[in-house]
Amino acid sequence: MKKLIIIMAVFLGALTQAEAQKLGHANFEEIVTMLPERAESEKKVQELQQKLENRLSKMIETYQAKVAEFENDQEMSAALKTSAQGEIEDLQRRIQEFQQTAYTEIETKQNELMAAMFKKVREAAAKVGAEEQYTYVFDSSSQGGLLYAGGEDITSKVKTELGI
């Protein structure tokens, strides 16, 4: 009988604790798009992209010049032709490798900058959650994985915390 009373007390305590939970959600993606540093990070990515595109253009110009030289030189010996073909193929390979590396570098830079902004938003959401005594604060953006938006939408409170 004592065990039954103890079990009931624990069960009722857990039930009241579950009812007292305060849930909130915020759209982190929406907030990130409104951050002042978003424009600066996009500018940095565009500058990097432009720098890499300029370098690629120079590589392509060199390649095209070598191909034109090869095609126009009618008096080239067989040994020189073989050497020139090897040079052209090497340039072609380097251009392809550079394109792949450039793409990866741009993607890495974007991810790095976005991660910093999302971290800032998560920290602001955690601060609002603590101040407002939320048990849980969920990310309701498409990347957040929230299936049901029950609870209070605190997006505007997080924006206010960030000064936007």
CATH number assigned to the domain comprising residue 97? 3.30.910.20
Q: Are 109 and 51 in contact (CB under 8 A)?
A: no
User: 84 to each of 5, 92, 94, how far by Cα in Å?
Assistant: 91, 12, 15
Q: How far apart are the first and last CA of the chain?
A: 59
Token pair 């982190």 is found at 28
64 domain residue, yes or no: yes
Whole-number pLDDT of residue 19: 56
119 domain residue, yes or no: yes
102 domain residue, yes or no: yes
146 domain residue, yes or no: yes
1 domain residue, yes or no: no
Query: Which parts of the chain register pLDDT below 50?
Result: 1-2, 4-5, 8-9, 12, 15
Range of the domain at 78: 20-162
8 domain residue, yes or no: no
77 domain residue, yes or no: yes
Encode pLDDT of 130-155 as tens digits. 999 999 999 998 877 666 667 888 99
Q: Are 101 and 48 in contact (CB under 8 A)?
A: no
Q: How many domains does the chain have?
A: 1
10 domain residue, yes or no: no
Say what angle helices 78-131 and 36-72 make with each other, to 10 degrees. 170
